[in-house]
Structure 1
Amino acid sequence: MAEFWTGLWQFAGSYWWLIFFIGPAIGGGAKALERSSKRRHQRRLEIIRAKAEAKGLLRAESPTAVDGARSASGAAADDTGEDLGTRARMQRLLEAHDGLTHRWLEYELDVAKLIAYPAMSDGRQPLTAAFLRAKKVADGLRPASERERITPADLAAYRDALTDAEVAFDVAEREARRLSDRGFSEPERRRLDTAKRLLNVAIDEAATPAERRTAYERVRAELDGLIAVSDEAMERLAERSALQLPPAAPN
């Protein structure tokens, strides 16, 4: 043991200068780990906060809460009143569901948004995939109409699933806006910038029909292989481009 400590002190005495290289490296690594941990912690807090806020907005729709309030007040509810209350809650949930679908389709069908926030249409992005899964669950639990007979438990399950989908959308949207085009290489970013400029020409009423058609076709070409643009999105762009575009010249 004495030999070990003697050798250690001799090494330290001969290579004391290594402390100037090892120390900063260790410190830098520790700081990087600390920053990464803080980012993960902050993101978890954002998700928890968003979910709490969304559930707070819909808490008043809880059938249990409504029934409890009625019992506390001593009011006797007849079947007709309960049916009307359930239909009203279902109607509000269905409207919220339609609103969520509309917000999502704006990213799917608006080429400008597809270019600006490509992560929202990329199912490989974890948060976007989480939203799509949550929306699928909510879609599966959605009643056909507000007049459909549904148990309080089923209504609560649908409400909770819709809340989860809304929260997942908000989180995915914030992440997509943060990422923007960071997932693309420099040449790919230049193609996206070109597509943005051409998009402005395609919907410019001051441009000639020929200019709009050329810009429209070049937008499609620039995005090919970069972003999955649906035929519906291109049709919507065509409608915004004045459309009636002249027929393409025969080859």
Structure 2
Amino acid sequence: MEPFFDFLGNFWWLAFPLFGVGAGAWNSLQAASRRRHKQKLELIRARAELRAAETGVILPPLPAKPEKKKQKQSEVTSGEKRPSTLERLFATHDEITARWLDYELDVAKMIAYPAMSDGRQPLTAAFLRAKRRADHLRPDGLDARITAEELREYREAVTDFEVAFDLAERDAKRLRDSEFTDAERKRLATAQRLLNIAVDEAATPAERQSAYRRVREELDGLIAVSDEAIETLEKKVMRELPRADDPKAARP
């Protein structure tokens, strides 16, 4: 035993780095446990929203943001310390929202990729949940005072939002109309053909109106078209034509 105690006497200082390694490993395990718990809660919420989308049940809103407390050392003023961070997050948030609106407001894209507008699709439901959280955590502006913790939560929410959209979009492009019956796919193809006529400036107003009405009939019961998408489509269909008293219209 004497050699062992001699070793301890000469290399007692090794206890400190070994203790540090052990403490670091313990902290890593704790952080991993917290992440798993958070992911489990998010999965539960995503499944709940999916079931709600299938049954038409409206989920309760997310809790309101806590009121800002008096400024502490942990607070950061976006205009002073982190302007580039918030600017980048806002830009990414707005970019993904714009990409999503391209599907929500474009009836042609709805027909081509119906899963992007179907809340019953698991990845679409997960994306909508991520969007809802990112919108909820978004600061009021670049000059808003937020804590370091709030900034971290918003950054994670924007990342989740971006990843969830990419996954939902990829899946929608993979699925296309594969989950519809043959008869339903024929209706979608007919709706797409009629839609091209409805927005064709070379077609007469009567042709565009007739095609527009038939598009609505073909999509009824197949795809839930938002009011905003209908309004956007109607504006395309009802493009202003030259007036009868317009000199250019009177030319032969």
TM range (shorter): 0.5 to 0.7
1:243 paired to 2:239: yes
Tell me the equivalent position of 1:32: none
CA distance, structure 2, for counterparts of residue 186 and residue 80 of structure 1: 57
Partners of 2:76 and 2:193 lie apart in 1 by 58
- Stretches of structure 2 that go unaligned for 5 or more consecutive residues are 1-74, 242-252
How far off its partner does 1:80 sit? 10
1:166 aligns with 2:159: no
Are the equivalent residues in 1 in contact too, given 2:131–2:161 (CA < 8 A)?
A: yes
Choose which of 220, 227, 247 in structure 2 pairs with 1:224.
220
Provide closer, same or farther for how the CA distance between residues 135 and 80 of structure 1 changes in structure 2, counting only shifts above 3 A: closer
Equivalence for 2:97 = 101
For residue 142 of structure 2, the aligned residue among 138, 142, 146 is 146
Change (3 A) 1:145 1:222: same
Match of 2:122 in 1: 126
Q: Which sections of structure 1, spanning at least 5 residues, go unmatched? A: 1-78, 246-251
Aligned residue number for residue 113 of structure 1 = 109
Question: 1:84 pairs with 62, 80, 100, which one?
Answer: 80
Give the C-alpha shift of residue 84 in structure 1: 3.2
Give per-residue Cα distances to partners, 1:86-124, cap 9 Å, x unaligned: 123212211211111111111111000000000000000
2:218 is aligned with what amino acid? E
Q: Is this contact kept in 1: 2:78–2:144, CA < 8 A?
A: no
CA contact (8 A) 2:78 2:143 kept: no
CA spacing shift, 1:233–1:81, aligned 2, 3 Å: closer
- Which stretch of the first structure deviates more once superposed, 98-107 or 219-228? 98-107
Whether 1:155 aligns to 2:142 is no
2:213 is the counterpart of 1:203: no
Q: Which has the higher helix share?
A: 1
Report the Cα distance in structure 2 between the residues aligned to 1:106 and 1:81, rounded to whole angstroms: 34
Aligned residues: 167
Give the 3 Å change call, closer, same or farther, for CA 224–81 of structure 1 in structure 2. closer
In structure 2, relative to structure 1, the CA distance for the partners of 1:223 and 1:84 (3 Å cut) is same
Equivalent pairs: percent with the same residue? 62
Q: What are the Cα deviations for residues 6-48 of structure 1, in whole angstroms up to 9, with x where unaligned?
A: xxxxxxxxxxxxxxxxxxxxxxxxxxxxxxxxxxxxxxxxxxx
TM-score, with normalisation over the residues of structure 1? Answer: 0.63
Structure 1 counterpart of 2:139, one-letter code: P
Structure 1 SS opposite 2:234: helix
C-alpha RMSD over aligned residues: 1.9
Change (3 A) 1:187 1:92: same
CA distance in 2, matches of 1:149, 1:81: 5
The structural deviation recorded for 1:81 is 9.6
Q: Report Cα offsets for 1:96-155 as digits up to 9, x if no partner.
A: 111111111111110000000000000000000001111111111100101100112211
Task: Report the Cα distance in structure 1 between the residues aligned to 2:76 and 2:153, rounded to whole angstroms.
Answer: 23
- Inter-partner Cα distance in structure 2 for 1:92 and 1:116: 31
